[in-house]
Structure 1
Amino acid sequence: MSQMLDVKGLNCPLPVLRAKKAMKTVAKGEVLTVEATDPNTMRDMAALCEAAGFTLLSAEEQSGVFVFRIQQAA
């Protein structure tokens, strides 16, 4: 089961902080999908995942929306 987090319209650092908080509720091995509009999230989500031990499964832009799939450590 995966969870969704919509942080569109928020500027950094809020999208990353909210993703970090949301990951606390994601079960081991499960995925959080984050949708953001701040271009800085491309860099910052990768840094969050590396620092926190999450796996960044994908990071892509779809019509101005940045979509991240982050997996909780197993």
Structure 2
Amino acid sequence: MEKGWIKIKSYNNVIESEIVKQMLEQHGVEAVLLNKQDSSYLFGKIELYVPQEHVQQAEVLIGDYGTTSDNPKDVN
């Protein structure tokens, strides 16, 4: 991932991660999903990244959305 992008969530569910990404983009927040799931057995995580300057806005929007991600904040 390029510099300046922060991982803010991890998901197990591809559909939920896509819905959240689209919701963020509709509110003007760029978002990228990095799918680390195994294609055969579907274990692993889908990571959601946003630009550093939009982390706070993205967290508020996701909090309002009420996602069921595994971890509330997973920043590396």
How high is the TM-score relative to the length of structure 2?
A: 0.43
Which protein has the larger Cα radius of gyration, Structure 1 or Structure 2? 2
Report 1 or 2 for greater relative contact order, CA contacts < 8 Å, sequence distance ≥ 6: 2
* Structure with greater strand share of residues: 1
TM-score normalized by the length of structure 1: 0.44
Query: Counting helix residues as a fraction of each chain, which structure ranks higher?
Result: 2
